[in-house]
Amino acid sequence: MKIGITFAGQGAQYPGMGKDLYDNYEAAKNVFDMAGGQNKQGGFWLSVAETLKQTHVTQPTVYTVTMAAYEAFLEALEKEGLKDDIEIIGYAGFSLGEYAALTAAGAIGEIKTGMEIVTKRGQMMNEAGLGPDGQPMGKMAAAMAKRPQVLEAVEEARGDGILEGVNFNSPSQTVVAGDKDAIARFMDVAKEKKIRAKELPVGTAFHSPMMIPAADKLKTVLKEAGLKAPNAKIYANVTAEDMMKDFDGKDAGEYLADIMSRQAKSPVYWEETVHHFKRDGAEILIEIGPGKTLSGLAKKTEADLKRFNIENAESLKETIEGLKALKAEQ
The whole-number pLDDT of residue 37 equals 55
Question: At residue 16, does pLDDT exceed 90?
Answer: no
Residues 14 and 52 in one domain: yes
Reference 237, options 143, 97, 137, 87; nearest CA is: 97
User: Are residues 304 and 223 both part of a single domain?
Assistant: yes
Residue 123 in this model has a pLDDT that exceeds 50: yes
> What pLDDT score was predicted for residue 240?
98
pLDDT tens figures, 198-221:
999 887 899 999 999 999 999 999
List 95, 170, 266, 315, catalytic entry:
95
Helices (H), ranges, the chain: 19-24, 26-35, 37-40, 55-79, 97-104, 111-128, 147-158, 180-192, 212-223, 252-265, 270-279, 293-301, 313-329
- Residue 29 to residues 42, 58, 66, 137, 165, Cα–Cα distance (Å): 15, 19, 12, 38, 38
Q: Is the pLDDT of residue 50 over 60?
A: no
Q: Which of 47, 170, 172, 207 is catalytic?
A: 207
Start-to-end CA distance of the chain, whole Å, equals: 9
Helix 97-104 to helix 111-128 angle, to the nearest 10 degrees? 160
207 is catalytic: yes
Asked whether residue 39 carries a pLDDT value surpassing 80, the answer given is: no
> SS3 for 127?
helix
Question: So what's the pLDDT on residue 42?
Answer: 45
Assign 47 a pLDDT band (cuts: 50, 70, 90): very low
What share of the chain in percent tops pLDDT 70? 93
DSSP code for 139: E
Provide the pLDDT confidence category of residue 48 given band limits of 50, 70 and 90. Answer: very low
Do 87 and 225 sit in the same domain of this protein?
Answer: yes
pLDDT given at position 54: 59
Regarding whether 121 and 68 lie in a shared domain, the answer is: yes
Query: CA triplet 245, 237, 162: central angle to 5 degrees?
Result: 130
Q: Which CATH number fits the domain that encloses residue 35?
A: 3.40.366.10
Domain CATH code at residue 173: 3.30.70.250
Q: How many domains are contained in the chain?
A: 2
Residues 118 and 236 in one domain: yes
Q: Is the pLDDT of residue 58 over 70?
A: yes
Query: Over the stretch 264-289, which tens digit does the pLDDT of each residue have?
Result: 999 999 999 999 999 999 999 999 99
- Residue 55 has a pLDDT of 59
Contact 214, 264 (CB under 8 A): yes
- Give the mean pLDDT of 52-81: 85
Residue 269: helix, strand or coil by DSSP?
Answer: coil
Q: Give the range of the structural domain holding residue 171, as residue numbers without chain letter.
A: 138-203
pTM (two decimals): 0.93
Main-chain phi, psi angles of 158, to 5 degrees = -60, -45
Residues 15 and 118 in one domain: yes
Q: pLDDT value at position 53?
A: 55
